[in-house]
């Protein structure tokens, strides 16, 4: 299986290559792809040196799969060219997520929708992925009416520039800024640009993507997305109103049995999910599971996951694994 990683030198691209190796994906040849300034550099994969190539060269090399993590404009321009050459693209940008002709896939939920004719497959937003993995088994049982989510998102979601800003500030070094404000010892209640309705693009992504992935436009969702000075992963406070009442023990059992979910919920011993514990892991961690005593049929949960792994790289590679297992490529 020849695999191209587009954006191979970025945070997510680097993580994709790491996850391919860890999960023993059947890579016969890795094709690292990046911008012209990186062409010619070498990446070591399974003790073999692989030279970084440009876009057209990658297409000419005819990979079976191309994992894209190079931004929306790059995906809009190049994903159709890869697809036209018969290459299956799994795209991590927002470019194709809400395109009605493209599947938006979290394997634990809707991989079965995929077919051999899907040549551009969208990987959802990181904050959406971890939330829906936890919500899906509960929606099946109790029927979600409304979700209120507040996120606490790692600087790694912005990229290398933001990580550098945080570490520079922590070490008293002046440097390039990824954010309009200091991030160390601060909280910025803005992720992506503001829209006319006063919400950010990140917040509206969570609204629209959740409905598409879960196949239910009746779910009402409102989000506030916040950047915080941590590295290990994204955290979310989620309030879920169901059409039907629930039993807390049954909720915990449903989550414990759900694929990709790890329940960490022992408040007596101060056990709950934290980004530092989710770092470099693929599970979605759920804790602080409790009834909302202010509203009937309503549950509170705390959800944490490594945004570079399950929120990006791992989810994309799980899609690729499904395609291979089902012989769809």
Catalytic residue among 50, 139, 234, 279: 234
Spatial distance between the Cα atoms of 153 and 105, rounded to a whole number of angstroms:
21
Q: In sequence order, what are the beta bridge partners of 290?
A: 300
Residue 126 annotated to the active site? yes
Spatial distance between the Cα atoms of 46 and 139, rounded to a whole number of angstroms:
41
Spatial distance between the Cα atoms of 191 and 184, rounded to a whole number of angstroms:
16
Query: Which residues, 6 or more positions from 50, have their beta carbon under 8 angstroms from its beta carbon?
Result: 29, 30, 31, 32, 42, 43, 44
Q: 30 near 17, Cβ under 8 Å? A: yes
Q: In sequence order, what are the beta bridge partners of 291?
A: 299
Q: CB burial class (10 A; 0-12, 13-18, 19+) of residue 48?
A: exposed
Residue 50 annotated to the active site? no
Q: Where are the beta strands (DSSP E) in the chain?
A: 2-6, 29-33, 42-45, 48-51, 65-68, 88-91, 120-122, 144-152, 220-224, 234-242, 261-263, 284-291, 298-305
Q: 207 near 217, Cβ under 8 Å? A: no
Catalytic residue among 50, 126, 139, 279: 126
Query: Which residues, 6 or more positions from 315, have their beta carbon under 8 angstroms from its beta carbon?
Result: 106, 107, 123, 124, 129
Determine the Cα angle at 141 with ends 136 and 147, to 5°: 50
Spatial distance between the Cα atoms of 139 and 214, rounded to a whole number of angstroms:
9
Active site members: 126, 234
């Amino acid at each position: 299986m020849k695999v191209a990683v587009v954006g191979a030198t970025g945070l997510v691209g680097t993580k994709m290559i790491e996850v391919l190796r860890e999960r023993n994906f059947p890579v016969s040849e890795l094709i690292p792809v990046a911008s012209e300034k990186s062409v010619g550099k070498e990446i070591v994969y399974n003790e073999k040196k692989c030279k970084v190539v440009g876009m057209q060269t990658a297409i000419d090399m005819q990979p079976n799969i191309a994992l894209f993590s190079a931004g929306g404009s790059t995906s809009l321009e190049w994903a159709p060219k890869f697809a036209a050459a018969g290459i299956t693209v799994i795209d991590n940008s927002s470019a194709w997520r809400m395109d009605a002709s493209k599947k938006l896939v979290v394997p634990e939920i809707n991989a079965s929708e995929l077919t051999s004719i899907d040549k551009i497959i969208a990987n959802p937003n990181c904050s959406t992925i971890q939330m829906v993995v936890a919500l899906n088994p509960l929606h099946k049982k109790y029927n979600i009416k409304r979700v209120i989510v507040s996120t606490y998102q790692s600087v790694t979601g912005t990229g290398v520039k933001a990580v550098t800003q945080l570490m520079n500030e922590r070490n008293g070094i002046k440097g390039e800024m990824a954010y309009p404000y200091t991030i160390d010892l601060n909280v910025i209640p803005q992720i992506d640009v503001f829209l006319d309705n006063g919400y950010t693009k990140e917040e509206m992504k969570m609204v629209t993507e959740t409905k598409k992935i879960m196949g239910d436009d009746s779910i009402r969702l409102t989000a506030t997305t916040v950047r915080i000075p941590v590295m290990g992963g994204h955290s979310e406070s989620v309030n879920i109103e169901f059409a039907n009442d629930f039993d807390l023990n049954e909720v915990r059992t449903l989550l414990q049995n759900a694929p990709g979910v790890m329940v960490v919920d022992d408040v007596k011993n101060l056990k709950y999910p934290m980004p530092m514990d989710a770092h470099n892991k693929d599970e979605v961690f759920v804790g602080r599971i409790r009834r909302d005593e202010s509203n009937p049929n309503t549950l509170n949960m705390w959800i944490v996951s490594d945004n570079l792994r399950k929120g990006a790289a791992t989810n994309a590679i799980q899609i690729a694994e499904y395609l291979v297992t089902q012989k769809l490529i």
